[in-house]
Structure 1
């Protein structure tokens, strides 16, 4: 079991740079993140890129769904400033920071195989972990039986033994509102660590650490790093 809680940056450093962009990732790593969580979706031509929403409206003021755009069309969005990066570009950015990793969040099963292919193409298997709900993890397991996984879980009870055996997660990953010492202890009895999200207040960070969580994800990575005691 881990003896030091990990600091995971939520979509990079989104209070300083636009989320899920390369400047945001680099800023989070510079602030001391152990890992950066990013959201992955597929373009129309099947390329995994970093975007949380199904459309480009919220971040890029473009109403089109990502699934209708090719990678070449996507390259035209954002102008000379930050743009929507590919997963491969994000992996290369993390590779430049020793000891750090990318946490690839799969909201649905669709990108699982392509995301793993991008990882293996770069030989980055030891620099990534994945998180997502059970359906996405099941799809990932077909392509990557040994990948490290955090099972995103929004129920107050632990998953059943059969599901855990199928998914083989290392972490149970509930939102912080569901986490207490009893849940952490119950997860430990099942051989699981507990990670949690999205923890942005210092008092909540301290409460999660007191409960025994092994990993915290935050939009405020510098504050989280300071709360954990500075750089690892």
Structure 2
């Protein structure tokens, strides 16, 4: 049965990568994963927002991609070294810090794709998203972190688990199974998986092929590709059969890709 996260939304699914930080936002000093970036994506019409989460020193789950503040703020400290109040001050003129709980509350009609970036954030993130499990997909490059977050969500609310996509280890095994035509193994690997979220290429390896798309679809699962910012690439991938596009330019994707409803 299709997870509620995927029901009643437009296809192809446009996932606003870390919100929306197009030219207008950048000119205004807005950075990724902030309240302003999420609000810009929402205003552009994005039904889905992809984001990342870490834990602060005082145990708050915040939307932030990197393990440290260096790239975004110039501060070399790690997220785990900073308390929430200080991080809010640092991010105030960059678009505003958002906790995971605040994001879910502030955008009640938005579906969130949350990548758990730190092991210590997995359990608290799972508990936070549990009440909104119908509109959340939990993922991580680490299958262990992903499973820990899912388990925490289900423990908090057994009647509805969040949607999920596989970690890197499962994706590697999936690609091998597809290559060798092992359909039963593909089905087993995708049991409980709602979307396979992958890059089009990984170095010289082409990940997204018609064969992969067909095999994943045969198992009742979607394919979402990240991170695609060129409109022609988006169109080519949709023509190939992918179901979702993760993009920094959700505004362009929503304007240029026809929605199937």
The match for 1:127 is: 135
Native 8 Å contact 1:45 1:71 kept in 2? yes
State how far apart, in whole Å, the 2-side matches of 1:32 and 1:47 are: 29
1:207 aligns with 2:216: no
Equivalent residue in structure 2 for 1:184, among 210, 213, 226? 213
1:151 aligns with 2:170: no
State TM-score, norm by structure 1: 0.87
CA change 1:218–1:62 in 2 (3 A) is same
Q: Structure 2 unaligned segments of length 5 or more: list them.
A: 155-160, 179-184, 202-206
Normalized per residue, the structure richer in helix is 2
Instruction: Report the 3-state secondary structure (helix = DSSP H, G, I; strand = E; otherwise coil) of the residue aligned with 1:169.
Output: coil
The match for 1:74 is: 87
Displacement of 1:117 in angstroms is 1.9
State how far apart, in whole Å, the 1-side matches of 2:92 and 2:243 are: 40
Equivalent residue in structure 1 for 2:195, among 158, 161, 171? 171
Native 8 Å contact 1:129 1:148 kept in 2? yes
Q: CA offsets, 1:19-58, max 9 Å, x none?
A: 0000100101111212111110000121100111111111
**How many residues are matched?**
225
State how far apart, in whole Å, the 2-side matches of 1:208 and 1:158 are: 22
Q: Structure 1 unaligned segments of length 5 or more: list them.
A: none
The match for 1:102 is: 112
Instruction: Report the 3-state secondary structure (helix = DSSP H, G, I; strand = E; otherwise coil) of the residue aligned with 2:91.
Output: coil
**CA RMSD for the aligned pairs?**
2.3
Displacement of 1:230 in angstroms is 6.4
State TM-score, norm by structure 2: 0.78
The match for 1:116 is: 126
State how far apart, in whole Å, the 1-side matches of 2:59 and 2:189 are: 29
State how far apart, in whole Å, the 2-side matches of 1:5 and 1:204 are: 13
CA change 1:175–1:80 in 2 (3 A) is closer
State how far apart, in whole Å, the 2-side matches of 1:176 and 1:93 are: 32
Displacement of 1:143 in angstroms is 1.4
Instruction: Report the 3-state secondary structure (helix = DSSP H, G, I; strand = E; otherwise coil) of the residue aligned with 1:111.
Output: helix
State how far apart, in whole Å, the 1-side matches of 2:75 and 2:96 are: 13
State how far apart, in whole Å, the 2-side matches of 1:158 and 1:219 are: 31
Q: CA offsets, 1:48-76, max 9 Å, x none?
A: 00111111111112111110112123233
1:198 aligns with 2:207: no
Matches within 5 A, 1:34-45: 34-45=47-58
